[in-house]
């Protein structure tokens, strides 16, 4: 069975690129443009991994994780943050909320996401 | 008694009377002569036409001439002609003259000034037979008079000086008061005992206090005024510092830059001067500016990420295969985009430094390992440029120091990146790590364009790029060394360089090995 990955990202082009790259690797990709929709989707679809943006309208990535932590099932889904910035305070906050990794968008190429995802599913 | 006897008696009586009269007369004459000779004041008697008929010894003494040289001589030979003619004329008319200043000619001392008295002498019948002149030497009196006048003048001058000094000090005082009152900064002065001695209107306004309420009060007393309390606490935190400057945020969002300086007189502290500069506006503008840069940089990051990812996937062949030409151009575009990302990151870092948000995370670490990582990352670039690299490492392991590894690597990267970019073709690079007494020193030396002498002072300022560097390499933000300096200083270290334009340049930094610098890091 294919591993299911949910990408929550408000920037459409980034979402498209990640979706393209990951589906080429054979993963089943779910996409969401905001946190609220993402939360509903993860409850229904139960993805194996979530790639989560931080700065989004309505609900930030941090708030999404806080909501996930309230749900015993969602709490167990691994989260990799894909964010615009990488300030230590932000990274610490994400770690305390249970994030597995933190990627800064301008610092990595999509191939690195594949490596991280593969490592996580290995 | 017979008549004859009577007559004889009368004659004898008369004779006797005459003799007695003569005796009296002679005695009187001798008396007059003695008195004349005795008088310490020069006296002369002159005929109505001004011939000296008689003088006393005092006259001889003062004039220096003998009686034989004087008697029979015209009186104007001994006095200034004009003076004596006037005196004679007046005496003959009025009968006397009192206290008249005359010039008297002496043999030895030349002309001297005397004060003269004259008195006419007449015979019984009223005929004038001459006049007396007596006088005394005024030389000493005149000298004293001149001295007195000099002293008086000196005294007057002194008084005038004092008056001028008083006026000047008044002027200075008024000037100082005017400056203090109209100063665009708040000002508070404490005396040697730390009692408040001066305020100006602005400082009173800032703290909403009245000068008369706080004047003369001690620091402890001032602490009871809630508005001024934060300032007093700040001053008490630094009681021994001769000079310090700190920011103070008051209620109502006013930000003050407080400068405190000891006032010294002959190495003794006479008080403390506190200047309050209101920087609220600057702070707001600064915040707006960095918020703008921050926002702009963040906004730019998303499209830059999209470009980066797209190019990366194109180059990976994720979106179909590429011709060699396409690949070559896309690779170059990818590099340009990376440059843009680096610029944005530098901009963000510098705004964070300015906002004091450039977070440092010190861990006990090996500097050598950090430098090694950076050197390894640059190996390819160094080879590509045909440069020779020498890496001088100490034989023994260095003690670990507290550093923010990522930030220290960034400094070494900046040094090495500059050294490579601004090297001469086939030049040499030396990266060295040395252990000093109390610090670890890292340096990067290259043979290359160097820093122009007149621009050396500005090397670490924001956006600075050497005039020769701009010609060599068009890219470069001028932020790398500014960021580096802030990083090293936050570590309690020093940063610097030595350069000979057109020859070689060494950039270095030191990190203290002592633990105390943790104090520095706490501030970040």
CA-to-CA distance for B138 and B482, rounded, in angstroms?
A: 89
Angle at A20 between CA A14 and CA A25, to 5 degrees: 130
The mean pLDDT value for B340-363 works out to 79
Q: CA-to-CA distance for B460 and B478, rounded, in angstroms?
A: 9
Whole-number Å distance between alpha carbons of B426 and B448 = 10
Residues B218/B223/B226/B227 CA torsion (nearest 10 deg): 60
Q: Which residues of chain A have a Cβ shorter than 8 Å from any chain B Cβ?
A: 11, 13-14, 17-18, 20-21, 24, 55, 84-85, 87-89, 105-106, 109-111
Site from B295, B300, B305 to mutate, A interface, most A CB atoms within 10 angstroms: B305
d(CA A9, CA B69): 138
* B318 close contact with A: CB closer than 8 A: yes
Q: How confident is the model at residue B523 (pLDDT cuts 50, 70, 90)?
A: very low
Q: In chain B, pLDDT over 70 holds for what percent of residues?
A: 96
Q: How many CB atoms lie within 10 A of CB A21?
A: 23
Q: Does B316 touch chain A (CB under 8 A)?
A: yes
pLDDT grade for B524, boundaries at 50, 70 and 90: very low
- Give the gap in angstroms from C-alpha A13 to the nearest C-alpha of chain B: 7
- Dihedral of alpha carbons B88, B90, B93, B94, sign: negative
Nearest CA in chain B to A13: B306
| Nearest-by-Cβ selection for B298 from A13, A20, A84 | A84
Each residue of A79-106: pLDDT tens digit? 999 998 887 788 889 999 999 999 999 8
Query: For residue A2, which of A22, A32, A18 has the smallest C-alpha distance?
Result: A22
Structure tokens at A66: 């806080």
Distances (CA, A) of B190 to B133, B217, B504: 78, 9, 53
All domains in chain A, ordered by first residue: 4-44+60-121 (3.40.50.2300)
The ipTM (two decimal places) reads 0.89
**Which one, of B481, B175, B511, lies nearest residue B363 by Cα?**
B511
pLDDT the model gives residue B517: 47
pLDDT tens digits, one per residue of B403-436: 888 889 999 999 999 999 888 888 899 999 998 8
Please state the three-class secondary structure of B220-255 as a single string: HHHCCCCCCHHHHHHHHHCCCCCEEEEEEEECCCEE
Determine which of A5-9, A59-63, B424-428 has the lowest per-residue pLDDT on average: B424-428
Query: Cβ of A92: how many Cβ atoms within 10 Å?
Result: 12
In whole angstroms, what is the distance from residue B92 CA to residue B118 CA?
A: 10
Contact status, residue B388 vs residue B427, Cβ threshold 8 Å: yes
For residue A82, which of A97, A100, A63, A57 has the smallest C-alpha distance?
A: A100
At B121 the three-state DSSP class reads strand
pLDDT band at residue B211 using 50, 70 and 90 as cut-offs = confident
Could you tell me if B344 lies within 8 Å of chain A, comparing CB atoms?
yes
Say how far apart CA B119 and CA B94 lie, in whole Å.
9
Mean pLDDT of B475-484: 84
SS (H, E, C) B360-424: CCCEEECHHHHHHHHHHHHHHHHHHCCCEEEEECCCCCCCCEEECHHHHHHHHHHHHHHHHHCEC
Q: Quote the CA–CA distance of B108 and B185 in Å, as a whole number.
A: 78
The CA distance from A79 to the nearest CA of chain B, in Å, is 20
pTM: 0.52
Q: Which positions in chain A touch B319 (Cβ < 8 Å)?
A: 20
SS3 content of chain A, % helix, strand, coil (to 5): 50, 20, 30
> Among B420, B398, B417, B418, which Cα is nearest to B511's?
B398
Structure confidence by residue, pLDDT tens digits, B109-162: 889 999 999 999 998 888 889 999 999 988 888 888 889 999 989 999 999 999
Residues 6+ apart with CB under 8 A from A103: A80, A81, A82, A83, A112, A113, A116
Distance of alpha carbon B412 from alpha carbon B407, whole angstroms: 9
Q: How far apart are CA B426 and CA B429, in angstroms?
A: 10
Q: Is B312 close to A89, i.e. CB distance below 8 A?
A: no
- Are A110 and B312 inside 8 Å of each other by CB? yes
pLDDT bucket at B516, cuts 50 / 70 / 90: very low
A52 within 8 A of A65, measured Cβ to Cβ: yes
Q: For residue B283, give how far its alpha carbon lies from the nearest alpha carbon of chain A (Å).
A: 23
Residue of A nearest to B298 (CA): A84
pLDDT of residue B476: 75
Confidence band of B506 (pLDDT split at 50, 70, 90)? very high
């Amino acid at each position: 069975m294919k591993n299911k990955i949910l990408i929550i990202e408000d920037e459409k082009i980034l979402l498209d690129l990640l979706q393209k790259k990951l589906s080429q690797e054979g993963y089943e990709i779910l996409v969401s443009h905001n946190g609220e929709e993402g939360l509903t989707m993860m409850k229904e679809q139960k993805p194996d991994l979530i790639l989560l943006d931080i700065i989004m309208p309505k609900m930030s990535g941090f708030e999404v994780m806080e909501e996930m932590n309230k749900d015993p099932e969602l709490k167990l889904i691994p989260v990799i943050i894909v964010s615009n910035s990488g300030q230590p305070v932000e990274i610490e906050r994400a770690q305390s909320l249970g994030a597995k990794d933190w990627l800064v968008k301008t610092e990595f190429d999509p191939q690195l996401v594949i490596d991280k995802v593969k490592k996580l599913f290995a | 008694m017979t008549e004859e006897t009577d007559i004889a008696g009368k004659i004898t009586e008369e004779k006797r009377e005459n003799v007695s009269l003569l005796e009296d007369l002679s005695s009187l004459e001798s008396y007059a002569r003695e008195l004349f000779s005795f008088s310490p004041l020069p006296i002369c008697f002159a005929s109505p036409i001004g011939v000296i008929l008689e003088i006393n010894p005092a006259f001889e003494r003062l004039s220096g001439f003998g009686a034989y040289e004087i008697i029979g001589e015209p009186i104007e030979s001994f006095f200034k002609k004009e003076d004596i003619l006037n005196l004679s004329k007046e005496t003959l008319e009025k009968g006397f003259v009192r206290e008249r200043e005359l010039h008297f000619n002496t043999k030895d001392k030349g002309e001297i000034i005397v004060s003269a008295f004259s008195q006419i002498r007449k015979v019984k019948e009223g005929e004038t037979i001459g006049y007396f002149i007596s006088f005394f030497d005024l030389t000493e009196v005149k000298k004293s008079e001149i001295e007195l006048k000099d002293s008086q003048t000196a005294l007057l001058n002194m008084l005038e000086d004092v008056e001028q000094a008083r006026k000047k000090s008044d002027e200075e005082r008024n000037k100082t008061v005017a400056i203090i009152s109209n100063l665009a900064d708040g000002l508070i002065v404490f005396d040697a005992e730390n009692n408040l001695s001066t305020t100006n209107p602005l400082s009173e306004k800032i703290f909403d206090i009245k000068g008369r309420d706080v004047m003369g009060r001690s620091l402890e007393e001032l602490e009871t005024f809630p508005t001024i309390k934060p300032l007093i606490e700040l001053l008490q935190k630094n009681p021994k510092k001769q000079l310090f400057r700190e920011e103070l945020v008051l209620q109502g969002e006013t930000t003050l830059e407080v400068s405190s300086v000891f006032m010294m007189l002959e190495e003794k502290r006479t008080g403390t001067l506190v200047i309050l500069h209101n920087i609220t506006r600057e702070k707001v503008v600064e915040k707006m500016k960095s918020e703008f840069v921050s926002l702009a940089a963040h906004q730019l990051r998303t499209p830059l990420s999209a470009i980066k990812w797209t190019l990366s996937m194109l180059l990976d062949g994720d979106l179909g295969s590429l011709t060699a030409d396409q690949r070559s151009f896309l690779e170059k575009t990818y590099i340009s985009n990376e440059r843009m990302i680096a610029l944005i990151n530098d901009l963000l870092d510098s705004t964070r430094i300015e906002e004091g948000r450039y977070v440092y995370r010190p861990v006990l670490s090996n500097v050598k390992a950090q430098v090694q990582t950076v050197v390894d990352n640059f190996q390819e670039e160094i080879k590509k440029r045909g440069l020779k690299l020498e890496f001088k490492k100490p034989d023994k392991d260095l003690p670990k120091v507290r550093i923010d590894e990522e930030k220290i690597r960034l400094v070494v990267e900046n040094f090495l990146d500059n050294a490579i970019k601004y090297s001469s073709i086939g030049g040499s690079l030396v990266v060295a790590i040395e252990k000093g007494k109390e610090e670890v020193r890292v340096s990067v030396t290259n043979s290359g364009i160097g820093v122009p002498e007149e621009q050396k002072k500005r090397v670490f300022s924001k956006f600075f790029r050497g005039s020769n560097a701009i010609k060599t390499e068009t890219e470069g933000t001028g932020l790398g060394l500014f960021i580096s300096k802030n990083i090293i200083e936050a570590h309690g270290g020093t940063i610097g360089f030595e350069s000979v334009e057109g020859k070689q340049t060494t950039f270095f930094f030191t990190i203290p090995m002592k633990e105390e610098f943790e104090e520095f890091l706490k501030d970040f």
